[in-house]
Structure 1
Amino acid sequence: MAGFKALKGQGHTPTLFMAFLYFDMSFMVWTMLGPLSTEISEALALGGHMTTEGEMATLLSLPILAGAFLRILLGFGVDKLGAKLTALLAQSIVIAALLTAYFLGESITYNILLIVAIGLGFAGASFAVALPQAGQWYPPKSQGIVLGIAGAGNIGVVIDFLFAPKIAELWGWSSVFGVGAAMSIVVFVAYAFIVKNAPESVYKARPKKLSDYGKLLKDKDTWWFNLFYAVSFGGFVGFAGYMKVYLMSTYQADMSVFGTEVFNEGNVKVIAGYFGAFTIFAGAVLRPVGGAIADKMGGVKSLYFFFGTVAALAMVNALVSLSFWLAIVILFLIMANLGMANGAVFQLVPQRFGKDIGIMTGIIGAAGGLGGTALIQTLGWSKGAFDGYAAGFMIFAGVVLVAIAGISLVKTRWRTTWGVQSGGII
């Protein structure tokens, strides 16, 4: 709580709130295909297109992949056009994609869905706008908590899992896109009237050239942060996007019984949405907690703990035959630690690259999107090749261990070089 109280009298609270709301809405839209995966697959089958494991993994990962590359573009836009205008332009494209899916409805094809998925990538790229929009208003010592609050908008995926399957059951899966479009329009209007870019007295924009990207990509610290965020955010968004497919493939019978006995709900797809929301919830809401912990004890120590916990739990899930309830607990804890790790990574980034935060948010955010894409594809491959997910979880655990080794390699140098001048705890 001390971290939140420290923000009193600093920055611009309405902009911080709208950055959170914009990212929340965008994240909800960005991951919308995940909780609708079963419904979309059934609708395409009725139209004569039976989706394979690989095709579904491609559809679910495409918004994540598109968002990864578009974050770099929007990061460039933040420095050239300002965060506010960049956000409004991106949101316009997202609304167009949602309306396309809504009006085409049941007649939509798999190929058109792929195009819609690319449009939804602009929602994922909002990360490169929302965080600088908020962070530019606040000093280095508060970046962990500020960017954690703005980044907690990823709770939007929880809203997806709670409501999208039920809306689809009542009115058809395409109606979910209509609801998303209506909500996005409301956020668009509110953002246009409420948000303010930080004045030059607080933050002076330094427009970058393409060559500046190249310069930052030559910095080895950029690649370390790329790795860490590919694991933390990539893990979070990858598991979130694939969660319903995983639960339906592995625990459909357990969820069906529970839904009938407890919720009086016979639609297992809705119950899968509820359990998906539960497992994802912790990672979404604990991002600012991870940032606050990193502000207090340092990002390096925090990442050791968060990543170590994730690696251990992923190995347990891969090697041990778990009951349904124990698996849900394991998934909940994995997502919680990945969410807190997201906050910890971005406690460090502004301290190292404060003058280039717009571009760096785009670059590192892109790495997170690529990590999520790789995880979804890995889980889809694991299911298709071995009819199970053990191999996928083991590969992910191995990548997390590589990230932990990376932290050990850089921690001393970071603390004795830029960490001394950063103004925060490394």
Structure 2
Amino acid sequence: MTVPSTAGAPHKGARWIAQWDPEDETFWELQGKRIARRNLAFSVISEHIGFSVWSMYSVLALFMGSAYGIDPAGKFFLVAVASLVGGVLRVPYGFAVARFGGRNWTIFSAGLLLVPTVALLVVMEPGTSYATFMAVAVLTGVGGANFASSMTNINNFYPLRLKGWALGMNAGGGNIGVAVVQLVALLVIGVAGASHPRVLLAVYIPLIVLATVLSAWNMDNLAPVRNDTGAAKEAVSDSHTWIMSFLYIGTFGSFIGYSFAFGLVLQSQFGRTPLQAASLTFIGPLLGSLIRPVGGQLADRLGGAKITLWNFGLMAVASAVIVLASVQKSLPLFIGGFIALFVLTGVGNGSTYKMIPGIFRAKAAATGMVGEEAAVYARRLSGAAMALIGAVGALGGLGINLALRQSFLSVGSGTGAFVAFLLYYSVCFAVTWAVYLRRPAFDQVQAGASAETKPQLNYAEV
């Protein structure tokens, strides 16, 4: 979506860097690495808190007892709305970095988190109308959009050889915000009780202010970065962007959807108290966040498509365990299945993102591009595609919570939704095999073929 360039730019000021070339190893070692790491560190802080605010309703639902008059279906719908808004806003947030500057947009987007947090502090009490809670759920969506601008910004700071590590650290550090807010909620419930949700919100308000101030003091704008609308249009028209979006719904969409819904399911289906639910909900998101870089490393070694294929197979197996546990009302089996599913979503997040640049590099080779020409094409298209794939993938959280809402309305449990998730992962398994791993009709290099033979598309190693 964005293209670093060494051309002059009209932006001026102490926090605008006029020249930036991380691929120049001398520049990188002398000054680029230090600046990039500093920006990464403070980007992670703001994105981390953004994820915490985005998932705030999933935690506050533990505090919303019978006095609030909201049934499980109503709570699932609140978190679904937050998921929807967060996904949709990722598209404009991704473009905002090049338009306003990474530092400037991080300051704005971090400060904007005060709006939903203060609003929740005001309205979080029995007697507040459902429409009011719904309006604030819309506001919390801005926390999910921070991911897109943060990833776009950090992508511009690092050379190609280090992007995987940098983006993995940035994404993982942000995702852990889901687990952290659940741990803070556990502490609040344990100390102050489930009738004091405002304590949780009061904790986050000064943290948001601190993150905003730290971003202003320590981050930089890159003047050479500009929006590449041509790459964005080309990525939108490429079928692989939408295929990978479908697969990313199954990985990241599952991660964020289950993070929002797990505590609600434990309360609604297994009768756990707020404290009992809170003591379990953080484990899955924490493990899923920490293992995301491992998924990327496995994909580096064995191929992203192969890891993604078998990961979806295992996700289907874990879903079958959850279905069995739901039918038998076995809480230990249910928790074990869900923890395994969370871990697998983290592995899949890493492997699917690894596939994207590989796919476009393979397309470049298939059209006869080589060397730097192929690398530039792959960077342009994969960067644009990642922004859209990240936005669509986040909508998986909406689908999961709407499916659980309908399942509880229809049969009084989440069993029907869990069966649907199992089927989705099975379809993802089939799509991954059919598109990226099935043996091509013609080998890329055939015996006796001339040097002029046009290369065939082969995605098996992406």
Q: TM-score, normalised by structure 1?
A: 0.84
**Counterpart check, 1:142 vs 2:162:** yes
Write the letter of the residue equivalent to 1:339: G
Deviates more, 1:367-376 or 1:134-143: 134-143
**2:236–2:385 contact (8 Å) kept in structure 1:** no
Gaps of 5+ in 1: 1-7, 45-49, 256-267
**Counterpart check, 1:229 vs 2:248:** yes
The aligned counterpart of 1:164 is: 185
The aligned counterpart of 1:384 is: 409
Write the letter of the residue equivalent to 2:42: M
**Counterpart check, 1:189 vs 2:208:** no
**Counterpart check, 1:111 vs 2:131:** yes
SS at 2:157 equivalent: coil
Q: Which has the larger radius of gyration?
A: 2
SS at 2:58 equivalent: coil
The aligned counterpart of 1:318 is: 323
Superposed displacement of residue 356, structure 1: 4.7
Q: TM-score, normalised by structure 2?
A: 0.78
Gaps of 5+ in 2: 1-27, 361-377, 445-454
The aligned counterpart of 1:63 is: 82
Q: Distance in 2 between matches of 1:225 and 1:139?
A: 24
Superposed displacement of residue 105, structure 1: 4.0
Write the letter of the residue equivalent to 2:277: A
Change (3 A) 1:297 1:221: same
Task: Provide, for residues 231-280 of structure 1, a one-character-per-residue CA deviation record: whole Å limited to 9, x for no partner.
Answer: 1010011011011111112333xx5xxxxxxxxxxxx3122111111232
User: For 2:141, which of 121, 132, 138 is the aligned residue?
Assistant: 121
**1:35–1:165 contact (8 Å) kept in structure 2:** no
Superposed displacement of residue 43, structure 1: 4.7
Q: Distance in 2 between matches of 1:206 and 1:357?
A: 16
The aligned counterpart of 1:264 is: none
**Counterpart check, 1:29 vs 2:30:** no
The aligned counterpart of 1:280 is: 285
**Counterpart check, 1:77 vs 2:84:** no
Q: Distance in 2 between matches of 1:36 and 1:323?
A: 26
Deviates more, 1:169-178 or 1:390-399: 169-178
Superposed displacement of residue 326, structure 1: 2.3
Q: Percent identity?
A: 23
**Counterpart check, 1:306 vs 2:325:** no
Alignment of 1:78-97 (within 5 A): 78-97=97-116
Task: Provide, for residues 281-306 of structure 1, a one-character-per-residue CA deviation record: whole Å limited to 9, x for no partner.
Answer: 21121111212222222211111122
**Counterpart check, 1:336 vs 2:343:** yes
The aligned counterpart of 1:348 is: 355
Tell me the number of residue pairs that the alignment of Structure 1 and Structure 2 aligns. 393
**Counterpart check, 1:403 vs 2:410:** no
**2:107–2:213 contact (8 Å) kept in structure 1:** no
SS at 1:314 equivalent: helix
SS at 1:51 equivalent: coil
**1:63–1:117 contact (8 Å) kept in structure 2:** yes
**1:128–1:361 contact (8 Å) kept in structure 2:** no
Provide the aligned C-alpha RMSD in A.
2.7
Change (3 A) 1:400 1:197: farther
Task: Provide, for residues 380-405 of structure 1, a one-character-per-residue CA deviation record: whole Å limited to 9, x for no partner.
Answer: 11111111222111111111111111
Q: Distance in 2 between matches of 1:182 and 1:403?
A: 42
SS at 1:290 equivalent: helix
User: For 1:207, which of 227, 240, 247 is the aligned residue?
Assistant: 227
Q: Distance in 2 between matches of 1:290 and 1:403?
A: 17
The aligned counterpart of 1:4 is: none
SS at 1:300 equivalent: helix
Q: Distance in 2 between matches of 1:360 and 1:98?
A: 31
The aligned counterpart of 1:47 is: none
More helix by share: 1
**1:75–1:358 contact (8 Å) kept in structure 2:** no
Superposed displacement of residue 328, structure 1: 1.5
SS at 1:39 equivalent: coil
Write the letter of the residue equivalent to 1:274: S
SS at 2:289 equivalent: helix
